[in-house]
Structure 1
Amino acid sequence: MSMQQLLLDVFTPPKPNLGNFLVGKNAQVLHSLHALAQPSPANRLIYLYGPPGCGKSHLLKGAAELLGAGVLKGADRFVFKSATPTLIVDDIDQLTPYSQVQLFNACNAHLAGEKPVNIVMGSTYHPAELKIRDDLRTRISAGLCWRVEPLTDEEKFNALQAVARGRGLELSEEVVEYALRYFQRDMGSLMAVMDGLDRFSLEQHKPVSVHLLRHWMKRRESLVVKE
């Protein structure tokens, strides 16, 4: 891999799955999603909500990988198909009126014991705050509703340190605090930063430091491709 490829690709977060989700206070949420792969989970209709960056989209993609399904976005128009075993929809607050009817029909089929067997949904809003049709909101509320709790700065700090130790890196408190202060604070982006910084440290034959981090950023910015 060329140096240009190395630096331009470093902010690509790892592919989300349930195994690389940093749990924090969301152990029960993760357990309920893993349970969907079991023969008789207690709940197969699950709604996740929480603020941007909390990890709910990561969890939906992880559930999709686990169950061999895709993830629909609320802004995408879709038609409910009765043969679909698993339906996963993110940003349901953006559903069009037509798509809301389709999701309502899917929920009714699910509650009647038909397909889809699994329905997993997500958005920023608590069910009561969703600006969608009342009957669909009622169906969603009848399932298992989880608030996905964001990691605290302390949890992010500890997670980054743990990842670094696993790679044989020594990160000073100053380096981690710099990353938390100046980069996107979702864990996918922060993990991508650690990955890129690790590779750059090896290429430069220098230990990780704030100085190296700044140098890496300057090198990366100088390689931005202009259209």
Structure 2
Amino acid sequence: MRQLILDLLPESPPTLDNFVPGGNGETLTALTGWLAGAFPETSFHLYGEPGCGRSHLLQASGFLYIDATLRPSLAGIRAGEALAIDNVDALDDDGQIALFALYNQIKTAGGRLLTAAEQPPAHLALREDLRTRLGAGLIYRLLPLTDAEKAAAVAAQARERALKLSPEMVGYLLRHAPRDMRTLSMLIVAIDQYTLEQKRPVTLPLLRELLNMDAPL
């Protein structure tokens, strides 16, 4: 799929409301409660395979968001009271030392540290004292959406925009478009915009045209 059509759309900021939970209802409830201060634990760790929604939830937390793959040393980061570290296992030695210190500062201040990785803390290649701190907090696994859950979410979002997508059309999107829900949600917006501008109903030929376009609308 050409990326251009999606690049033309405004970003839809990740929020807790636009996260599609699928089988993660319990995890989302726990995270929402922890963010609201319902649990005393300083840290909350989310783990799961790529595409399960880890980054979405960290960005939706409203905390200062840091992707450790882009900032492995955490240079210049101040603790504050709310910090979200994505891909925490990508921290280098300096970054791990810094996060250990940040954790202690956040705990003293009564703040919150949200982290995420593909594995739970006990299985991460981190220094032992940092693993122990993260392992003492709340730990939840995020499950990827099944194809059926993605199809249901896409169909529901289409209905909200009064778009008539048949099961065959939804299946086509899941086979030919990027499969993460954020992109699929943006694609529904693109389809809505394209049908209005073209004054055409949604059909399979229109979807093929949209997914393969190489020029601005």
TM-score after normalising by structure 2: 0.88
Q: Is the CA contact 1:80–1:103 (under 8 Å) kept in the aligned structure 2? A: no
Cα drift, residue 206 of structure 1: 1.3
Segments of 5+ residues of structure 2 without an aligned counterpart are none
Judge conservation of contact 1:17–1:63 (CA < 8 Å) in 2.
Answer: yes
Matched, 1:153 2:151: no
Q: Percent identity?
A: 36
Aligned to 1:30: 28
Amino acid of the residue matched to residue 211 of structure 1? P
Q: Of 86, 94, 99, which residue of structure 2 is paired with 1:103? A: 99
Shift of 1:45: 1.0
- 1:8 deviation in Å? 5.6
Provide the alpha-carbon RMSD of the alignment.
Answer: 2.1
User: Deviations for 1:56-80, whole angstroms, at most 9, x for unmatched residues?
Assistant: 000000012xxxx320121313256
Residue of structure 2 aligned with 1:143, choices 137, 141, 144:
137
Render the CA deviation track for 1:183-204: whole Å, top value 9, x for unaligned. 1111001111111011111111
Residue 90, structure 1, aligned to residue 86, structure 2:
yes
Quick one: which amino acid aligns to residue 152 of structure 2?
N
Gaps of at least 5 residues in structure 1 are 1-5
TM-score normalised to structure 1 length:
0.85
Cα displacement (A) at 1:223: 4.2
In 2, distance between residues paired with 1:206 and 1:27? 37
CA offset digits 1:27-48 (Å, max 9, x no partner): 2222222224434434341001
What is the identity, as a one-letter code, of the residue corresponding to 1:149? Answer: L
Q: Tell whether 2:196 aligns with 1:222.
A: no
Structure ranking higher in helix proportion: 1
Separation (CA, whole Å) in 2 of partners of 1:139 and 1:104: 8
Question: Amino acid of the residue matched to residue 70 of structure 1?
Answer: L
**Residue of structure 2 equivalent to 1:207:** 201
Runs of 4+ residues over 3 Å off in structure 1 = 6-13, 79-82
